[in-house]
Structure 1
């Protein structure tokens, strides 16, 4: 395997774009199977878009003292580079879930830039939050949804906004007056999620918190109290001040349930990637999906990716997971969880895998493997033959061009 990044080379034979394409011929697929097939291809297309935006590399040195270039964002290698270079990539099928997946391929574990890892990680985190909320409510406790935001304008620097909000949040919860009030109200802990959208007023980073109390509270009174304290915290952090009306919001009931049920980078990760956001509230993946039609969105997604690289999407206060019987798992551990109840249905030869990567047909190939496994068809052979002919034609043109260059 070469040390220089090359999995995203553009190929003139098929063009340079990665539009959200339709699934190739898949006779026999109907209803939900066809919808899932389309969704899979779209997810791979979104991941390719992320790779096309996040092209920055850095120099690294291996154990032998040799330097090489590597992509800063690991999404460029996700579901592409092999884990064990001595083994082939394979396709496995889970009969219970009726899904196929690649095996012996790396996962980037990025909840921010990779649609596959984001979908898996946010679903795992959603289940943890649901376990926490349901368990606490069964014990007679109460949970409230608190949102913290501040004023922002177009042109504001996203990293600066994030740093300022982090300082303000720290000052809020460290203030003795706030600590004493939350203790008096029976607060046992909180889960904080960092989220961001982009709209007419530029970047809009904000916090959503699930706050756990041992008894029912007055939401209006808490909102006013936290609202005043949040304004003061923003002032000390040198942020643009929010209004008392919009800086803090405290909710319970249906909105809390909806938030936990749909939580993620955007509403329902399994559907969010084919959904278009509103102009005044684009999620990072909205920016990514529309980046080919608007190059500025590609730049904005890169700004977002660089600003959020390495950050945790959720933060639990100390002791809360233990109190609510929730296990500790990193994003990478969730992303790399393998399908235990699956069988191998196809090994992918190295040359075939390179062809699949070059022509960006990972989704189509996976769908074909699944369909062939179910009905004994020959879609895989037809798909590979189609692109082998395209590759042969491209190689022939390359040889002709080289020969002409020498004359």
Structure 2
């Protein structure tokens, strides 16, 4: 389903990584199982598996950083920035405006001087994309870190300053925004830090942990919008969803989902690099090459993990025996060889020309 030329997303979780010699099943500390030794794409936008892993790790780190910041007596403000959009607007252009407007706002003298009055230290910005009846709806969640907690009156003042600067930069780039989509609210903690869970409320009144609200866009369900992973699921049977997914994949490729300044990162002890690609556990089973190829051809990766969690290594062995007995290896092998030849036939032709002394054809 991936429309990108590299194909890294399409191969995620199928092949060995450079540091491994075999695919394994690993037993983790929480009782769950996972595959080890596989190369992962690390796409926070386009891969449901890697996105959940990376976003969860970032959410936990952000929760801890926010709790530390509040315990030290500083302040936090949660902001949502949006753009006005229609079905005719391309996602790539909207994301460009969202990014460029924030970058210009951060450099503008009015914002720097005004934010300094409120004790502004820095911001963490997370971008989220949904699709609804009015087309693509990208928006940014901001966490503004201040030296001291702001009163309700000062929070409103900071919000008015931010929206005025935001509206000016968005208009300068040829787009528009409206105050109805702007949200600015203070984040407060109690004296009992152990009890504090840093939460905000969504538009339905449901509480969500602040780190999750900032980073786990894949968990949200909105009545006015559909998450791209839902489009990906529908793309198997719906041509319009397939086209939307490909537009989303191209528009988000190479963009950052979570950003913060280096100075703020050092101050609050937060990094933006991806967490450890795979959570390591105890190796319980090792696949040989043919067994893993069988699992891939039979599309049975989830069944293998379910079998291991239910009955251990014996259940995995029995499942592999059933897959081997039920699968038509002749057709599978012929199809695999045909696909491999189609991919490499031009290289084979060039090798033949080189052997004969003929000029090569550019690949």
TM bin, normalised by shorter chain, reads 0.7 to 0.9
Note if 1:93 corresponds to 2:23.
no
Local SS of the residue matching 1:346:
strand
Runs of 4 or more, structure 1, over 3 Å off, are 263-267, 393-399
Distance 1:135 1:251, change over 3 A: same
After TM superposition, list the pairs within 5 Å mapping 1:235-246 onto structure 2.
235-239=171-175, 241-243=176-178, 245-246=179-180
More moved, 288-297 vs 204-213 = 288-297
Q: Give the alignment's TM-score, normalised by structure 1.
A: 0.72
Q: 2:304 aligns with which of 358, 365, 369?
A: 365
1:269-292, Cα deviation, whole Å (9 max, x unpaired): 5xx3xx8x4563111112112222
CA distance in 2, matches of 1:92, 1:385: 20
Tell me what 2:44 maps to. 111
After TM superposition, list the pairs within 5 Å mapping 1:160-199 onto structure 2.
160-199=93-132
Q: 2:17 aligns with which of 59, 75, 83?
A: 83
Contact 1:147 1:207 in 2 (8 A): yes
Contact 1:109 1:335 in 2 (8 A): no
After TM superposition, list the pairs within 5 Å mapping 1:1-400 onto structure 2.
53-57=1-5, 72-84=6-18, 87-94=21-28, 96-217=29-150, 218-239=154-175, 241-243=176-178, 245-253=179-187, 254-255=199-200, 258-263=208-213, 266=216, 272=219, 277-278=221-222, 280-326=224-270, 328=271, 330-331=273-274, 334-339=275-280, 342-373=281-312, 378-392=314-328, 395=331
CA distance in 1, matches of 2:35, 2:290: 16
CA distance in 1, matches of 2:76, 2:215: 21
Local SS of the residue matching 1:154:
coil
1:233-288, Cα deviation, whole Å (9 max, x unpaired): 1111111x112x22532012442773524236645x5xx3xx8x456311111211
CA distance in 1, matches of 2:333, 2:21: 33
RMSD: 2.6
CA distance in 2, matches of 1:292, 1:396: 22
- The aligned length equals 317
CA distance in 2, matches of 1:372, 1:163: 50
Contact 2:23 2:37 in 1 (8 A): yes
CA-CA distance at 1:166 after TM superposition: 1.6
CA-CA distance at 1:346 after TM superposition: 0.9
Distance 1:173 1:390, change over 3 A: same
1:284-334, Cα deviation, whole Å (9 max, x unpaired): 1121122223221122112111111122211112311111123x3522xx2
CA-CA distance at 1:370 after TM superposition: 3.1
1:91-150, Cα deviation, whole Å (9 max, x unpaired): 1112x3102111111111111111221111111111221122111111111101111111
1:55-107, Cα deviation, whole Å (9 max, x unpaired): 553xxxxxxxxxxxxxx24221211111249722111112x310211111111
More moved, 245-254 vs 358-367 = 245-254
Q: Give the alignment's TM-score, normalised by structure 2.
A: 0.80
CA distance in 2, matches of 1:313, 1:354: 34
Q: Which runs of 5+ in 2 are unaligned?
A: 188-198, 202-206, 336-363
